[in-house]
Amino acid sequence: MAIPKQDSIPTVDFSSWSQGSTDDKKRIAREVTEACRRVGFVYIINHGVPDILLEEAFSWSKKLFDLPLETKMLAPHPPGPNVHRGYSWPGLEKVTQDIIKDGDEAKAAENRKVADVKESYEIGSEDCELQPNIWLPEDVIPGFHDFMQRFYWKCFAAARELLRALAIGVGLDDEDFFLHFHSGENNQLRLLHYPPVEATKLSSNAIARMPAHSDWGTITMLFQDECGGLQVEHPSEPGHFVDATPMKNAMVMNVGDLLMRWSNDFLKSTLHRVTAPLAQDKTPMDEKVMTRPRYSIPYFVSPDPKTVIECLSVCTDEKRPIKYEPVVQEEYRRMRARGQYVETPAS
- Residue 343: pLDDT band (50, 70, 90) is low
**Spatial distance between the Cα atoms of 96 and 86, rounded to a whole number of angstroms:** 20
The pLDDT tens digits for 200-238 are 888 888 998 999 999 999 999 999 999 999 999 998 899
Answer yes or no: pTM beyond 0.75: yes
What does the pLDDT read at residue 287?
A: 56
Which of 84-88, 183-187, 332-336 is predicted least confidently?
332-336
pLDDT bin (cut points 50, 70, 90) of residue 342 is low
Q: What integer is the mean pLDDT of 70-94?
A: 95
CA distances to 83, 157, 338 from 129, in Å: 10, 21, 20
> Where would I find the beta strands (DSSP E) of 262-336?
272-274, 294-301, 308-309, 327-328
Is pLDDT at 182 greater than 70 in this prediction? yes
Least confident of 1-5, 292-296, 314-318, 339-343: 1-5
Contact between residue 327 and residue 334 where contact means Cβ atoms under 8 Å apart: no
Cβ atoms < 10 Å from Cβ of 336: 21
pLDDT, tens digit (0-9, with 9 covering 90-100), for 105-151: 677 778 788 889 999 999 999 999 999 999 999 999 999 999 999 99
- Taking 60 as the threshold, does the pLDDT of residue 1 lie above it? no
50 Cβ partners below 8 Å, 6+ apart? Answer: 154
Contact 297, 222 (CB under 8 A): yes
Neighbours of 175 (CB within 10 A): 17
Domains for the chain: give ranges and CATH numbers: 50-337 (2.60.120.330)
Average predicted confidence (pLDDT) for the chain: 91
